[in-house]
Amino acid sequence: MFIKKIVNEIKSLSVGYFIVAAIAAAGLAVGAYRLYAGLGETTNLSKAFPWGIWISFDLSTVAFSGGAFTLAALVYVFHLHELHPAVRPTVLAGLIGYSSVLVILFMDLGRWDRFYHFLIYPNLNSALFEVSWCIALYSTILIYELSPVFLKNSRFSGVLPIIEKWTIPLVIAGVTLSTLHQSSLGTLFVIMSSRLHPLWYSMLLPVFFLILSLAAGLAMVTAGAVISYWVFKRTLPEHVMAELVWFIPWVLGVYLVLKLGELEITDELHLMFSSGMYSVLFLAELIIGVLIPIILFSFKKVRHNRVGVLVGAGFVLAGTVLNRFNVSWFAMRPVNGEVYSPHWMEVAILVGVVATAVLAYSLVAHYFPLFDETVVVTPAQEHIRKPRAVLSPEATGD
Amino acid sequence: MSENNTTQKEFGFLIDASRCIDCRACLVACSVENEVPNDISRIWIKETGVTGQFPDLSRYSAPYHCMHCDDPSCVSACTVGALQKSDSGIVTYDADRCIGCRYCMYACPFHVPNFEWDVRFPLIVKCDMCVSRLAAGEGEPACAATCPTDAIMYGEKSSMLAQAHQRIELNPDKYVDHVYGETENGGTATFYVSPVPFEEMGFPTGGIVSSAYTNRLVTHGTPAVAGAVAIGLSGIYLTIKHHEEAMAGLGEEAHGETAVSPSPAETDPDQATEE
């Protein structure tokens, strides 16, 4: 009976779901083969490039998922309640982002059969140990933050007040954990002074990673809102979006000054124009991800226009991806002329995981009250009703 | 890390590139001793290639394996502490702990750790000074014991370093005035002397500060950063809350309403039916 209900439910889904599910299944099948066959046959990783596109993907995805902690901080800690409607869709995106990262990390581990060893054999000096712990703990907190969405219409809705009561301390713990792992992903590369090109190598890498993740997070929230305007017919009020992107030029401004300042202090500024391909990558990263968004979002017109917001956020996200790929791949200097480009199976597994993520997000959005507090796009639209839901979520702190 | 070396003897290598004849007996000895295939070995040869104009040709080579750093980057990097620096100076590898994350491979400034790419459950491949062979009472690691020209010598670390300097002093025309390994990456337990600059043999030229030290400067800041962020956020939260309550006290409206509806979405029935 229950199974029949599920079958009927599946039949009622649109064809898009099945296409995405097929891509996901194919990718995950390749993943299973990778676990069976080892890394040599299924990847182009080598002694000179022991990490590849998977790590670059992980770094980018964690930066994007930074939206969850940025927004949680703005709403709960800084009391910008107007932004509250964006919290749930963003927290879900964050949770799914982190889950994808965990799956890919699992693929990346040579000894995936021992993945739990990071829990029982700590090395407190290791940046990767810190990253693993923070991501594991933070994912748990994201599940907590998201649990009202799943519990609301269930028979367990009685625990909701208790969950609400502990939200603030957990949000603060979550933001702290995010600060730590967003930055320690940069710390990972502090030990690679001999490999990473000096335009990117810096003791300040953790700071750069953290700041850029704030901008990428905000960009992700707003880009997501615009996309869900078309896909789910739910979105954020225009003034909320405008307020979110208003922060971006400030964040990126801090980033730009610190980044150039660090190069100036270490006397490496001239490398910006004299390092051939590295200079091109570096300048592309700064122009696409930093300069263009600063200029775009300085205009009120852009901040209040959906397409403008999407384009500006797109630049931030593209620049962030390029930055993460540069640090973990393109700017790693070759050893003995050896370079790396991914094996098709590496890419296939990534595509499969991303498809799974898209599927998971769509299904949750379809079945659970994810967008409760966002506004419905009415045909006549533009007279978007201000939601009632933005009063004071933290009142239970007393 | 190095405070306790007064009580415990540390061991190391002296490798002389002028004596190496590239016979690769050390590679075979290592592969047999440690039961690893020759192509993913713990030791290999670095060489200049043939240089000069005929008939004045020359070619130099030297065996190359883990340097056994004083403050090893790999030990600092290893997620699960599988790599450790032992009291006798060996950078050891615990194959039962390793999760195969390969962070050590990127962390090592000498590009030493190797990996069993073609194995379902792979491990890191890395010189451990034949620690089990030494424990069994053999005097030297397999490579040093095998080397027919004594290009690889093994012994007490301080003595190896002294001999390295002595060779350069006695033959200043023969050797480059640099003991590779003495200061590289903060100092190691493997000392090279060579007739040609080390870059020409493809030796990495890193800084003299161990990247493990740089790394610790950052990772050890974690608890402080965590504490500061948590307290800072709590402070901001309470300050703004206090401020808002003070403001509400002046206006005295909407206060009762907010107190009963924590997150209005949960308590607002008609919102749920809206879809």
Closest residue on chain A to B105 (Cα) = A50
Q: Among residues of chain A, what percentage have pLDDT more than 70? A: 93
Task: Look at residue A160 and tell me whether its pLDDT is greater than 70.
Answer: yes
CA atoms of B41 and B222, how far apart (whole Å): 37
Q: Superfamily assignment of A45-341 in CATH?
A: Formate dehydrogenase/DMSO reductase domain (1.20.1630.10)
- Mean pLDDT along residues A49-60: 95
- Closest chain A residue by Cα to residue B119: A38
* In a shared domain, residues B259 and B153: no
The tokens for A238 are 């225009």
B215 and B241 assigned to the same domain:
no
Average pLDDT over residues A30-53: 94
Q: Which parts of chain A fold into alpha helices (H)?
A: 2-11, 15-37, 39-42, 53-64, 66-72, 87-108, 117-120, 127-151, 160-165, 167-187, 205-231, 238-265, 271-274, 277-286, 292-297, 300-303, 306-325, 344-367
CB A306 within 8 A of CB A41: no
Is A103's pLDDT higher than 90?
A: yes
Residues of B in contact with A55 (CB under 8 A): none
Q: Would the CB atoms of A111 and B204 count as touching at under 8 Å?
A: no
For residues B164 and B199, membership in a common domain is answered with yes
pLDDT digits (tens, 9 = 90+) for A7-24: 887 777 888 899 999 999
pLDDT of residue B252: 62
What confidence score (pLDDT) does residue A378 get? 57
Let me know whether B123 and B33 are in one domain: yes
Whether residue B131 is predicted with pLDDT greater than 70 in this model: the reply is yes
Has residue B177 got a pLDDT over 60?
yes
Q: How many domains does chain B have?
A: 2
Q: What does A271-293 look like in DSSP terms, one character per residue?
A: HHHHSTHHHHHHHHHHIIIIIHH
The pLDDT, as a whole number, for residue B7 is: 62
- List, in order, residues 6 or more apart from B116 with CB less than 8 Å away: A110, B40, B122, B123, B125
Q: Is B73 an interface residue toward A (CB < 8 Å)?
A: yes
Q: Clarify whether residues B209 and B227 are in a common domain.
A: no
Query: Do B243 and B215 fall within a single domain?
Result: no
Mean pLDDT of chain A: 88
For residues B137 and B181, membership in a common domain is answered with yes
Looking up tokens 């879900």 gives A92
Interhelix angle A167-187/A205-231, rounded to 10 degrees, is: 120
Predicted pLDDT of residue B6: 53
Asked whether the beta carbons of residue B107 and residue A376 sit closer than 8 angstroms, the reply is: no
- Residue B92 in contact with partner chain A when CB distance is under 8 A: no
Q: Which residue has the higher pLDDT, B257 or B50?
A: B50
Nearest to A129 among B79, B117, B207 (CB): B79
**Do B170 and B228 fall into the same domain?**
no
Least confident of A73-87, A184-198, B113-127: A73-87
Is the CB of residue B97 less than 8 Å away from at least one CB of chain A? yes
Average pLDDT over residues B243-262: 65
Query: How wide is the angle at C-alpha B72 spanned by C-alphas B82 and B89, nearest 5°?
Result: 85
Query: How confident is the model at residue A377, as a pLDDT?
Result: 63
Measured between CB atoms, does B233 come within 8 Å of chain A?
A: yes
**Beta carbons of A297 and A248 less than 8 angstroms apart:** yes
Q: For the residues B111-127, what does the mean pLDDT come to? A: 93
Check which CATH number belongs to the domain holding B176 and give it.
3.30.70.20
Does a structural domain hold residue B209? yes
Same domain, B213 and B98: yes
Is the CB of B218 less than 8 angstroms away from the CB of A164? no
Q: What is the mean pLDDT of residues B13-30?
A: 94
What is each CA distance from A365 to A27, A89, B220, B268, in whole angstroms? 23, 8, 41, 19
The radius of gyration of chain B's CA atoms, rounded to the nearest angstrom, is: 29
Q: Which helix (H) or strand (E) holds B46?
A: strand B44-47
| Average pLDDT across chain B, whole number | 87
Of residues B108 and A158, which shows the higher confidence score?
B108
- The 10 Å Cβ neighbour count of residue B136 is 8
Q: Indicate the range of A18-27, A163-172, A271-280, A388-397 predicted with least confidence.
A: A388-397
B179/B62 same-domain check: yes
Do residues B254 and B144 share a domain? Answer: no
Q: Do A191 and B230 touch (CB under 8 A)?
A: no
Interface-testing mutation among B205, B233, B263, with chain A (most A C-beta atoms within 10 A)? B263
Q: Which residue has the higher pLDDT, A281 or B9?
A: A281
Residue-level pLDDT at B267: 43
Instruction: Determine whether the interchain pair B102/A77 forms a contact, defined as Cβ–Cβ distance below 8 Å.
Output: no
- At A224-276, the pLDDT tens digits run 888 888 877 777 888 888 989 999 999 999 999 999 999 999 999 999 999 99
Domain ranges, residue B211: 7-219
pLDDT digits (tens, 9 = 90+) for B261-273: 444 444 444 444 4
Residues B152-171 pLDDT 10s: 999 999 999 999 999 999 99
CB contact under 8 A, B226 and A78: no
- Would you say the C-alpha torsion B248, B250, B251, B255 has a positive or negative sign? positive
Same domain, residue pair B53 and B116? yes
Q: 3-class DSSP state for residue B55?
A: coil
Residues of A in contact with B260 (CB under 8 A): 395
Domain assignment present for B182: yes
Q: In sequence order, which residues have a C-beta less than 8 Å from that of residue A74 and are 6 or more positions away? A: A80, A83, A247
Model ipTM value: 0.88
Residues of B whose CB is below 8 A from A195: 106
> What is the average per-residue pLDDT within A106-128?
93
pLDDT at B38: 77
Across A136-150, A245-259, A273-287, B76-90, least confident range: A136-150
Question: Within the 141-200 window of chain B, which residues sit less than 8 Å (CB to CB) from chain A?
Answer: none
